[in-house]
Chain A
Amino acid sequence: QKEVEQNSGPLSVPEGAIASLNCTYSDRGSQSFFWYRQYSGKSPELIMFIYSNGDKEDGRFTAQLNKASQYVSLLIRDSQPSDSATYLCAVTRAGGGGFKTIFGAGTRLFVKA
């Protein structure tokens, strides 16, 4: 079992719909949770981060964290074709003298115009 798991997709949604991306993690000691977006051939860029159970909203994006279920999700409302990208879930956990970062393999999202 991978430490951070995502559905690889592709996930296809029509323009204007809600896209729902999911991520599960195995280490209960995980501290921080991130969603990054990566366009083909580009570097990852942060969408949102969340530390506490519950929802966190930023514009069209909402991150949800449930530590009991070891689950974090990202909702994209009013999806746009420009949202088409790979979405990476990342978690940090204590390791050695600091903290490690573990990424999921990513979910490819296609938003159809």
Chain B
Amino acid sequence: EAQVTQNPRYLITVTGKKLTVTCSQNMNHEYMSWYRQDPGLGLRQIYYSMNVEVTDKGDVPEGYKVSRKEKRNFPLILESPSPNQTSLYFCASSEVEGGYYYNEQFFGPGTRLTVL
């Protein structure tokens, strides 16, 4: 089954404790992306990756890191989480056509993170 998986689905942590949220897709997609969703603000892009070893900042990258060492995986790293990073996080992937656009992003189930 074609899917995007994220782990963990729920996480409660404390300020400053490093954490990683994993994301994996089995569709051989080039494009992967992380979003956070907050009430009233919609989905905001944190980082995206066009392919292996190619990553770039979205609109809200502060406090986050990513890496893309393999095509299927795109982990999100919070080196020193703070309460303002409490949010619902989505990973997504898509196939790139013509080098510059995609038809659809497939979303993972989401990770609800609470930082105390």
Show the binding face of A for B, using Cβ within 8 Å.
8, 31-32, 34, 43-46, 49, 51, 88, 90, 92, 94-106
Q: Which residues of B contact A106 (CB under 8 A)?
A: 42
**Shortest Cβ-Cβ A-B pairs, 5 listed:** A96-B56, A105-B42, A98-B50, A43-B107, A103-B43
Set A32, A44, A98: member contacting B48, Cβ < 8 A: A98
* Contacting pair A98 B31 (CB below 8 A): yes
Interface size class for chain B? 20 to 34
- The interface residues of chain B, by DSSP majority, are classed as strand
A31 to B101, CA, bound (A): 8
Whose C-beta in chain B lies nearest to the C-beta of A98?
B50
Q: Which residues of A lie under 8 Å from residue B108 when comparing CB positions?
A: 43
Q: Which of B53-86 contact A (CB under 8 A)?
A: 54, 56-59
* Chain A residue at minimum C-beta to C-beta distance from B51: A98
Which one, A45, A88, A92, A99, contacts B42 given CB within 8 A? Answer: A88
B58 / chain A contacts, CB cutoff of 8 Å: 100-101
Residues of chain B in range 30-60 having any CB-CB distance to chain A below 8 Å:
31, 33, 35, 40-45, 48-50, 54, 56-59
